[in-house]
Amino acid sequence: MSEMNFDRIEDFLDGGLSDDQLKEFEKDLLDDPDLQMELDLHQEVDEAIMENDIMDLRSKLEAIEIPPKEEEKRKFKYLTKWNIVAASLALFIGLGSLMFLVNNKGTYSNEKVYSNYYKPYEIVVNTRSADANIDNMLVNALKSYEAKDYRTALHLFKQILDKDSTNITSNFYSGISNLEISEYHKANKNFTKVIRHKNNLFIEQSEWYLGFCYLMTNEREKAIEQFNTIARGNSFYKAKAQEILNKLE
- The total number of structural domains that make up the chain: 2
Question: b/e for 14-30, b at 16 or more Cβ within 10 A?
Answer: eeebeeeeeeebeeeee
The reported pLDDT for the residue numbered 52 is 53
The reported pLDDT for the residue numbered 89 is 57
Confidence band, pLDDT 50/70/90 cuts, at residue 154: very high
Give which of 213, 219, 180, 217 is closest to 194, Cα–Cα: 213
The reported pLDDT for the residue numbered 29 is 79
Cβ neighbours of 141 (radius 10 Å): 26
Domain termination residue (choose one: 72, 107, 142): 107
Same domain, 210 and 186: yes
Q: Which of 28-37, 42-51, 186-195, 210-219 has the lowest mean pLDDT?
A: 42-51
- CB-based contact 68:74 (threshold 8 Å): no
Domain termination residue (choose one: 90, 107, 124): 107
Quote the mean pLDDT of the chain.
80
Same domain, 141 and 214: yes
In this predicted structure, the answer to whether residue 27 has a pLDDT above a threshold of 70 is yes
* Digit-coded pLDDT (tens) for 79-106: 454 455 555 555 556 555 555 544 544 4
DSSP annotation of 121: P
Higher pLDDT residue, 81 or 247? 247
In this predicted structure, the answer to whether residue 120 has a pLDDT above a threshold of 80 is yes
The parent domain of residue 191 ranges over: 115-248
Average pLDDT over residues 178-193: 97
Same domain, 151 and 220: yes
Higher pLDDT residue, 190 or 249? 190
CATH number at 123 reads 1.25.40.10
Inter-CA distances, 5 with 12, 39, 42, 116, 160, Å: 10, 9, 11, 23, 47
The reported pLDDT for the residue numbered 53 is 55
The reported pLDDT for the residue numbered 59 is 60
- Provide the percentage of residues in the chain whose pLDDT is more than 70: 69
